[in-house]
Structure 1
Amino acid sequence: MDPFTPPADSSLWCKNFLLGAATASYQIEGAVNEDGRLPSIWDTFSAVPGKVLAGDTGAVACDHYHRWEADIEMLAGLGLEGYRLSIAWPRVMDAAGAPNRKGLDFYKRLLNRLKEKGITTFVTLYHWDLPQHLEDRGGWLNRETAYRFADYVDLMGRELAGTVDAWATLNEPWCSAYLGYGNGHHAPGLANQRFATQAMHHLLLAHGLAMPVLRANDPASQKGIVANIGRGTPNSDSAADRRAAHRFEVQHNAWILDPLLKGTYPQDLFELWPGTEPLVLDGDMRIIASPLDFLGINYYFRTNVASDGAQGFRDVPLEGVERTQMGWEVYPDGLRDLLIGFKDTYENLPPIYITENGMASDDEVIDGRVDDPQRISFLKRHLAAVDGAIKAGVDIRGYFLWSLMDNFEWAFGYERRFGVVHVDYSTQKRTVKRSAELVAKFLKERRERG
């Protein structure tokens, strides 16, 4: 057996378990000034010296806007069954809210080709590239942005109905709110804890407003949202450290999942961050808690934490553990434990797709090949964790590798390589890594088994 293939009793052999790969518009498309695309907050942010490693930007990225046909052939050639992509809001609407036909036509061609190839399409409507003109009016701190998002979703639902199997309204609102408005690590680069909680509320409101619009415009598709989750473990068995680990998971997981699945914010959150309660209007929580057809889950690592001596927590990095190029600990059990915990916590937990899971490594092309043994081991162990959660009763329908190809990794620029396909950014040559070859081999064997 090769170093990737799951054991014979794994749920992954079920032909109904979808296995695909994911990307995001700003990370791969490039062509930021072409065919009527407007500036996004990431164009603005990455142009500020010191914000992105090596001064990198997404101006060219993987040049997918011009190379999409070959990229789809590559995806199909690997036998991947699903493709999760995102739409660039600044590419499909002008500042007045009118459609940009050239941008829309790009996505129509892309999605139609994917359907011709028999590839299941998961489309994320917001993967962080907010139009800059909306940020100029307050961005996600401005409640009006939630309504502008609903207008954008209305256009996408009407224009792309029938080509999308599953819509996700938002990708990782935790990152948009906390990294964008709470600590300034991501665009738009603001750093105020009160801003983070208000931005989160407007992001979730935008999601809730979008759900009935999608149901009306594209009833045959699935509708959901994607959340990144984090496992927090206590540095010791002390009550203070166990409380710290609980509060880590409150701010990383329950902050998003409680409003979606319970219609309330976790009170522990405002004990951790006192005085940061967002302005919530009557009816908002009911809108946010609109029923989901699926929940997308993104998972990468765990954080070991201790009490900070007050109400919060502090990171205590463990020594002697396996880490990726990002410095993140490889901890597959965290994914299994969180999924099982969500099943026990949320009575109305919808079906789950693992919409991102993967790792960065410093991959090189040597004699025309890219060997990435750590990634192969990482994927096998995390898929085993997913299988463990399925066997514990969690309804998990599929798994998307992050990412199809190396790309612009936000504040880390092009140094960190998450792809199962290597990209030479000077030539745009794609080289399939060994991990992708083994995934393709498994999928071929699964199809042959019937």
Structure 2
Amino acid sequence: MLKFPERFLWGSATSAHQVEGNNINSDVWSEEYADGSPYADKSGDGVDHYRQYRTDIALMAKLGLKAYRFSIEWARIEPEKGFFSRSELEHYRDVLYACYEYGITPMVTMHHFTSPRWLMRDGGWSNPEVSGLFARYCEYVFQELGDLIPYALTLNEVNLPIMLREMFINFDFMPPIGIDAKSWTAPGWRESAARMCGADIEHYFTFHMASDEESLQHVKDSHVKAREVIRRCSPSTKVGLSLALPDVQAIAGGEENAEKVWHSYYRQFLPILQEDDYLGIQNYTRERYGPDGQMKPPDGAELTSMGSEFYPEGLEGAVRKAAIDWKRPIIITEHGIATEDDLQRCHYIRRGLEGLHAAISDGISVEGYLYWSTFDNFEWIFGYSSRFGIIGVDRTTMERHVKMSGKLIGEIAQTNGL
């Protein structure tokens, strides 16, 4: 058996908008209902996790999982600028209580792509004031709940807007969270979404659009300021952020291109990470670069239902590359595959963990592995058709059914080995 370090965090991950349902005060909800929206489905009731969280957490514990990463929704906590909802805060307090009741270590993400509608009226992530507004929200939460949160991620995948921009430049590639280039650049539905937020198209600037130097700096500042208030309110909480890191590879002649991409995805963020307690790495596949830029998957390559290459070895590659510059703990905050074939998912998990174990054996500090996702949930523009979950959900009855992959991760968690 390949044994993992003691107290290794084994679990799974979700985000609020994708599982809770009825996130009506968020910008993404507006995009779903905009005229001409490219979203295949509306998130609606999600997978009813807002109501069923207690039985869901009990189910995770029954499987053997030891950790649960979930997000607190800014648009619920602060539905209007300056108004903080006590009832929503108490909801998340009880989610945290449920984790402890069932022996689950919680990891909380403070922003997982969605923002309050009112933020769009202020210019969204293009407004220099966004970092202070985000930090104020984090301060409110951690003044109240900080003693219940041992791990916090300020922002999810701060580099994703850059990845989206690069993908659009290179070719019409389907990003991992499911936003395709053609619909993303279409202005009509965005104008409608802006109106639904009470904004105009000039002010409508979501997190996914923050790829230019100025707006990206606002995102970086938001992490730094949020980390400061979290540390002040809850000194015992370990704070980090997550980066989407494919295994960036070069073929002959593509070394310079690969190095530029790795800098834009990873190295440019190192200055704001220096005071973090850990780095969250999220990997799904690899990206290959040649002399002419990014290459499509090799002919005949096995693909996932999202169109990306089936390449579980990418997890080891991304961790090893990140560890060249990052000498502190790493937690795998997402690693997953969209597939209808759960046996394929099991192979993906096993092969990914074999590579991760090899990296750990070579001295790289990895403290946990959280599979994406706990449930077959709302996958942004693709709606409910792309299934990442280790727990299936009947869309009519909301009944849960554990997959073979869920039992696999539970067994691995129980034995702390593969």
For Structure 1 versus Structure 2, the TM-score category normalised by the shorter chain is 0.7 to 0.9
**1:201-280 counterparts in 2 under 5 A?**
201-234=217-250, 236-238=251-253, 241-256=254-269, 258-261=270-273
**Aligned equivalent of 2:321:** 341
User: Displacement, 1:58?
Assistant: 1.9
8 Å Cα contact 1:182/1:190 also seen in 2:
no
**Aligned equivalent of 2:148:** 163
Counterpart residue type for residue 240 of structure 2: G
C-alpha distance in 2, partners of 1:216/1:192?
Answer: 29
In the alignment, is residue 149 of structure 1 matched against residue 134 of structure 2? Answer: yes
In the alignment, is residue 82 of structure 1 matched against residue 67 of structure 2? Answer: yes
TM-score by length of 2: 0.86
**Aligned equivalent of 1:428:** 398
Spell out, residue by residue over 1:267-321, the C-alpha distance to the aligned partner (whole angstroms, 9 max, x if none). xxxxxxxxxxxxxxxxxxxxxx5x011111100011122233xxxx233331122
C-alpha distance in 2, partners of 1:48/1:305?
Answer: 36
Cα distance change on mapping 1:154 and 1:384 into 2, 3 Å: same
In the alignment, is residue 23 of structure 1 matched against residue 39 of structure 2? Answer: no
In the alignment, is residue 124 of structure 1 matched against residue 121 of structure 2? Answer: no
In the alignment, is residue 387 of structure 1 matched against residue 357 of structure 2? Answer: yes
**1:33-72 counterparts in 2 under 5 A?**
33=24, 39-49=25-35, 51-54=37-40, 56-72=41-57
- Could you tell which deviates more after superposition, 244-253 or 420-429? 244-253
In the alignment, is residue 299 of structure 1 matched against residue 312 of structure 2? Answer: no
- Local SS of the residue matching 2:103: coil
**Aligned equivalent of 1:367:** none
- Local SS of the residue matching 1:95: coil
Spell out, residue by residue over 1:215-245, the C-alpha distance to the aligned partner (whole angstroms, 9 max, x if none). 11111211111111122223x412xx22122
- Local SS of the residue matching 1:109: helix
8 Å Cα contact 2:107/2:152 also seen in 1:
yes
C-alpha distance in 2, partners of 1:252/1:177?
Answer: 7
Spell out, residue by residue over 1:315-339, the C-alpha distance to the aligned partner (whole angstroms, 9 max, x if none). 3331122221111112233322232
Gaps of 5+ in 2: 169-178, 185-189, 191-203
8 Å Cα contact 2:39/2:383 also seen in 1:
yes
C-alpha distance in 2, partners of 1:390/1:107?
Answer: 34
Cα distance change on mapping 1:403 and 1:219 into 2, 3 Å: same
- Could you tell which deviates more after superposition, 167-176 or 124-133? 167-176
Counterpart residue type for residue 160 of structure 1: L
C-alpha distance in 2, partners of 1:122/1:443?
Answer: 17
8 Å Cα contact 1:31/1:59 also seen in 2:
yes
Spell out, residue by residue over 1:11-56, the C-alpha distance to the aligned partner (whole angstroms, 9 max, x if none). 32x44211011000000000334xxxxx2111112223554442x1
- Local SS of the residue matching 1:126: coil
C-alpha distance in 1, partners of 2:99/2:208?
Answer: 41
8 Å Cα contact 2:120/2:205 also seen in 1:
no
- Local SS of the residue matching 1:102: helix
Identity of aligned residues (%): 32
**Aligned equivalent of 2:172:** none
Counterpart residue type for residue 44 of structure 1: S
- Local SS of the residue matching 2:110: strand
- Aligned-residue Cα RMSD (Å) equals 2.4
Spell out, residue by residue over 1:56-89, the C-alpha distance to the aligned partner (whole angstroms, 9 max, x if none). 1222111111111221111111110000000100
**1:87-126 counterparts in 2 under 5 A?**
87-126=72-111
C-alpha distance in 1, partners of 2:409/2:163?
Answer: 34
Cα distance change on mapping 1:181 and 1:378 into 2, 3 Å: closer
C-alpha distance in 2, partners of 1:362/1:318?
Answer: 22
- Local SS of the residue matching 2:321: helix
Spell out, residue by residue over 1:335-354, the C-alpha distance to the aligned partner (whole angstroms, 9 max, x if none). 222322222234xx321100
Q: Which of 319, 326, 330 lines up with 2:299 in the alignment?
A: 319
Could you say which structure has the greater relative contact order, defined with CA pairs below 8 angstroms and 6 or more residues apart?
A: 2
Flag the structure with larger Rg.
1
Counterpart residue type for residue 21 of structure 1: S
C-alpha distance in 2, partners of 1:191/1:42?
Answer: 10
Cα distance change on mapping 1:445 and 1:352 into 2, 3 Å: closer
8 Å Cα contact 1:421/1:430 also seen in 2:
yes
C-alpha distance in 1, partners of 2:36/2:159?
Answer: 23
Spell out, residue by residue over 1:383-436, the C-alpha distance to the aligned partner (whole angstroms, 9 max, x if none). 111111111211000000101111011121111000000112122111100111
- Local SS of the residue matching 1:298: strand
- Local SS of the residue matching 1:59: coil
C-alpha distance in 2, partners of 1:388/1:440?
Answer: 21
